[in-house]
């Protein structure tokens, strides 16, 4: 079994790599709950399968599926994709799965954060979340990766690193009383430094307007290279997102990363507001204890929620005039990767997008699966 380590990645010489560093694979969870996904999750399942197939062009993909959905998923997914049975409460592996860390010798370990469905009993999106909270441990057990298990609630979508000592995050999420209420900013920064092995924590006040994750950074602002970020943007001063992005831009322009570099900021103009239709809302089961999907609700649509695969950028698009502009921007920022655009609406209807449903595993040295040194 994977060992539980009582040290920290920083003390052991491990760090969280940037997403553009080489991957050994990608992990996903399969959607099925009808109180979050419309029409019994069938449209979402097709969307997840398309994301998995796009990523599998350049790196191995594993999709974790409940026993009840195994045969269905195996039939829908590309034959090159590995399918394994694993119970979960929903399908957001970026947030409930492990964060992988590496050392300079090629060893890979994982951080198994605590998970409380984005707020627990105070403000969480569903109950229970006990099976989601076990996903990190299960993935690391399958990979035979030793794990750190801090008593600290954190979702993977709430952090973004450059691999060179800097992490981006938001106050809206990490300082929210529904995550780690007994910890202050200094305590949380210490946890990020110890477990991600970073020296600089860059805080933005908020994420995307009405993002139900409490403003995850991966939907708002991401590193695309050391010293460079993309930021969701709108020129419409009447849109609530305008003030959020303008404040973030000004703050980012004044920041320095762990290497002392000023940040180069690239704007990714958001699509026009995406609203849930009456038909879409009616196709989601209404269950007490789960966030309802209601007609007219604005969704947190963003082009920042892309996945950086080994040879591609998998980008959600919305049938909006800004789609082409986002594609062009990312093509210029990632000239050695193909830009694969996929319809993002079905995943967005569930509360996230491409980055939220994926978790990269960094490439390390080949594992000795026969035995472990004492």
For residue 123, the enclosing domain spans 4-362
* Average pLDDT estimate for 191-214: 98
CA 316 to CA 305: how far, in whole Å?
7
Any long-range contacts for 50-53 (C-beta under 8 Å, 24+ apart)? 50/342, 50/343, 51/307, 51/314, 51/342, 51/347, 51/354, 51/357, 51/358, 52/26, 52/28, 52/77, 52/78, 52/81, 53/77, 53/78, 53/81
The pLDDT, as a whole number, for residue 365 is: 85
Q: Please determine, for residue 341, whether its predicted confidence score (pLDDT) is greater than 60.
A: yes
**β-bridge pairing 160-161 and 147-148:** unpaired
User: Can you give the CATH number for the domain in which 208 is found?
Assistant: 3.75.10.10
CA 198 to CA 188: how far, in whole Å?
12
Which among 292, 288, 268, 271 has a CA at the least distance from the CA of 351? 292
The pLDDT, as a whole number, for residue 371 is: 40
Considering the domain boundaries, does residue 372 fall inside one? Answer: no
The pLDDT, as a whole number, for residue 230 is: 99
* Average pLDDT estimate for 248-266: 98
The pLDDT, as a whole number, for residue 374 is: 33
The pLDDT, as a whole number, for residue 369 is: 52
Q: Please determine, for residue 373, whether its predicted confidence score (pLDDT) is greater than 90.
A: no
Q: What percent of the chain has pLDDT over 90?
A: 95
Contacts for 114 with CB less than 8 Å, ≥ 6 apart: 133, 150, 151, 152, 153, 154
* Average pLDDT estimate for 161-179: 98
* Average pLDDT estimate for 216-240: 98
CA 101 to CA 13: how far, in whole Å?
10
* Overall pTM surpassing 0.85 (yes/no): yes
H or E element at residue 322? helix 322-333
* Average pLDDT estimate for 278-307: 96
Quick check: 101 and 197 in contact, CB under 8 A? Answer: yes
* Average pLDDT estimate for 66-88: 98
Q: Which residue has the higher pLDDT, 370 or 122?
A: 122
Strand ranges in 189-322 using DSSP code E only, listed in sequence order:
200-204, 221-225, 228-233, 264-269, 274-275, 298-299, 307-308, 312-317
Q: Please determine, for residue 304, whether its predicted confidence score (pLDDT) is greater than 80.
A: yes
Considering the domain boundaries, does residue 76 fall inside one? Answer: yes
SS3 233: strand
Domain tally for the chain? 1
Q: Please determine, for residue 158, whether its predicted confidence score (pLDDT) is greater than 60.
A: yes
* Average pLDDT estimate for 6-34: 98
Considering the domain boundaries, does residue 24 fall inside one? Answer: yes
Question: Whole-number mean pLDDT of the chain?
Answer: 96
The pLDDT, as a whole number, for residue 368 is: 62
Enzyme catalytic residues: 356
Considering the domain boundaries, does residue 216 fall inside one? Answer: yes
Considering the domain boundaries, does residue 367 fall inside one? Answer: no
Residues 128-156 pLDDT 10s = 999 999 999 999 999 999 999 999 999 99
Contacts for 151 with CB less than 8 Å, ≥ 6 apart: 114
Q: How far is CA 72 from the centre of its chain?
A: 25
Considering the domain boundaries, does residue 374 fall inside one? Answer: no
* Average pLDDT estimate for 110-120: 98
Task: Order across the sheet with 307-308: list the strands.
Answer: 307-308, 312-317, 338-343
Number of H helices and E strands in the chain, helices first, is: 12, 19
The pLDDT, as a whole number, for residue 251 is: 98
Considering the domain boundaries, does residue 135 fall inside one? Answer: yes
Q: Please determine, for residue 370, whether its predicted confidence score (pLDDT) is greater than 80.
A: no
Considering the domain boundaries, does residue 39 fall inside one? Answer: yes
Q: Please determine, for residue 372, whether its predicted confidence score (pLDDT) is greater than 60.
A: no
Question: How many CB atoms within 10 Å of residue 262?
Answer: 12
CA 158 to CA 214: how far, in whole Å?
9
The pLDDT, as a whole number, for residue 1 is: 74
């Amino acid at each position: 079994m994977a060992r539980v380590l009582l040290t920290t990645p920083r003390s052991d010489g491990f760090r969280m790599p940037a997403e553009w560093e080489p991957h050994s694979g990608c992990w996903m969870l399969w959607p099925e709950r009808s109180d979050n996904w419309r029409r019994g999750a069938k449209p979402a399942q097709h969307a997840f399968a398309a994301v998995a197939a796009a990523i599998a062009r350049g790196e191995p993909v594993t999709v974790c599926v409940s026993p009840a959905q195994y045969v269905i998923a195996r039939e829908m997914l590309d034959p090159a994709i590995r399918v394994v049975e694993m119970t979960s409460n929903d399908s957001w592996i970026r947030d409930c799965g492990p964060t992988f860390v590496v050392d300079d010798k090629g060893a890979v370990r994982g951080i198994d954060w605590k998970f409380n469905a984005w707020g627990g009993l105070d403000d969480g999106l569903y109950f229970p979340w006990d099976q989601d909270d076990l996903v990190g441990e299960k993935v690391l057990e399958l990979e035979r990766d030793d794990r750190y298990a801090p008593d600290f609630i954190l979702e993977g979508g709430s952090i973004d690193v450059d691999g060179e000592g800097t992490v981006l995050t938001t106050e809206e999420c990490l300082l929210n009383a529904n995550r780690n209420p007994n910890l202050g900013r200094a305590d949380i920064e210490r946890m990020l430094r110890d477990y991600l092995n970073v020296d600089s924590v860059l805080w933005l006040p908020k994420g995307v307007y009405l993002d139900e994750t409490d403003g995850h950074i991966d939907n708002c602002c991401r590193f695309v290279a050391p010293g460079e970020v993309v930021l969701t943007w709108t020129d419409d001063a009447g849109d609530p997102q305008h003030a959020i992005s303008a404040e973030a831009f000004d703050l980012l322009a004044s920041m320095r990363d762990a290497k002392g570099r000023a940040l180069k900021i690239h704007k990714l103009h958001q699509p026009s507001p995406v609203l849930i239709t009456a038909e879409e809302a009616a196709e989601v089961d209404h269950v007490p204890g789960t966030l309802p999907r209601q007609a007219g609700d604005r969704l947190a649509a963003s082009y920042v929620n892309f996945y950086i695969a080994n040879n591609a950028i998998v980008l959600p698009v919305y049938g909006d005039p800004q789609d082409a502009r986002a594609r062009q921007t990312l093509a210029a920022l990632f000239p050695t990767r193909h830009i694969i655009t996929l319809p993002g609406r079905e995943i967005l209807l569930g509360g996230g997008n491409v980055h939220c449903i994926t978790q990269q595993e960094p490439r390390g040295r080949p594992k000795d699966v026969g035995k472990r040194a004492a």
